Amino acid sequence: MAHEELTPFNITPGAIRFNTDSMKLEYFRIGMEGGSTSSYAGIGTLAAGEWVQITTDSPDIQTGGTRAVFGGGGLTWPARQNVIQYINMSTTGDAVDFGTTMQEQSSGSYAMSSNTRGIFAGSYDGSPNHGSNLIQFFTFASTGTIADFNGDLSTTRRSGHSCSNQTRGIAAGGYDGGSPGRVNTIDYITMASTGVDAQDFGDLTTTILAGAAGNQVASSTRGIFAGGDTPTTIASMDFVTINTLGNAADFGDLNTARRSMMSASNATRGFVGGGTNPTMLSSIERIQLATLGSAVDSGDLSAAKQSGATSASSTRMVFAGGYAPAPTRINVIEYKQFASDGDVIDFGDLLAATVNITGMSNGHGGLG
């Protein structure tokens, strides 16, 4: 695709497109006034009205992080593990050992992350009440054992929805082991501030158990919580404005009601895939984060599956592990490009076949 000579009158500076010839993201840059040009390291000379490939050195746009980290889960149920592993989402290949969590954990930690820090909150830890209120954190750039956040969730719980932007992490709904067990409460933390317990944010529109791990669908301003069970499996989606305390509101509906699904997003587009209702699903649905409304079909996973982990960069979403029918525990990692609809592509493998594993990244949509 040849570069077009475009002007400020027919395209907005900073607009982004996906070049199907180079398979690269590009952004539109206007040269200096009077038709002059400017040079930038790693890019070259920019003429007025030119599409430029986005790189980590781009002067106006950063592509975000590419490290995805997966933690906890189980090789069998209700067995738990403390293994943490990671991948580089900009390439393909198998996961590599990262370190260990503070405790063996499974079944649905809440996932929150900035571009430097990742957080696991809550989980099934084998205790009689089926949950933990422990919050742990790690630094994306440094492998090794993670540390106590020295603050706790408002209650022991697991298997809810979560989201985050650069500063605030949110844990919504889940299961607290009581009767009826499902909760509608939303907690938040300031991720840079250790030593502080989670605070009340508001409530979801209903009590909900997502039955999944992580599920970060967010832009820098909005978090979206899709599907789950009440205990009826639902298609509805709630949303919150991340920086504004208050109750969640209705966003729209999935095409197919599902629980134990896998979801993630970049700053504009989210995918929700797999899950169960009542049999396992392979379909993937797409959400436009800025516009209230229903999801649309976007392709399929390689097989029907549930209870796996997800993570995202600005260009790519990955699905990792989970159950396939039988139930068969799987170690498969596959990915899907945000720029287009279509089926997933093989990425590599986890260290072992694992279910109820939690994923996060330093480049997801909530980081802008």
For the chain, give every domain's residue range: 1-62, 67-367
Among 167, 154, 235, CA closest to 202: 154
Contact 181, 175 (CB under 8 A): yes
Return d(Cα 128, Cα 140) in angstroms, integer. Answer: 32
Q: Which residues contact 64 (CB under 8 A, 6 or more apart)?
A: 115, 313, 314, 362, 363, 364, 367, 368
From the centroid of its chain, how far is CA 331?
Answer: 19
Contact (CB, 8 A) for 255 and 295: yes
Element (H, E) at 361: strand 358-361
pTM: 0.81
Q: For 67-367, CATH number? A: 2.120.10.80
Per-residue pLDDT of the chain (368 residues), as tens digits, is 444 444 444 566 667 888 887 777 877 765 433 333 444 344 344 445 677 776 543 433 434 689 999 988 776 656 667 889 999 999 999 999 999 887 665 567 899 999 999 999 988 766 666 678 999 999 999 898 789 999 999 988 888 899 999 999 999 999 887 767 899 999 999 999 999 999 999 999 999 988 665 678 999 999 999 999 999 999 999 999 999 999 999 999 999 999 999 999 999 999 999 999 999 999 999 999 999 999 999 999 999 999 999 999 999 999 999 989 877 899 999 999 999 999 999 999 999 998 888 999 999 999 97
Q: What is the DSSP string of 188-240?
A: EEETT-TT---EEEEEEEEEEB--SS--B-B-SSEEEEEEEESSSEEEEEEEE
SS3 category, 114: coil
Helix, strand, coil percentages in the chain from 3-state DSSP, rounded to 5: 0, 50, 45
Q: Is 180 exposed, middle or buried (0-12, 13-18, 19+ CB in 10 A)?
A: exposed
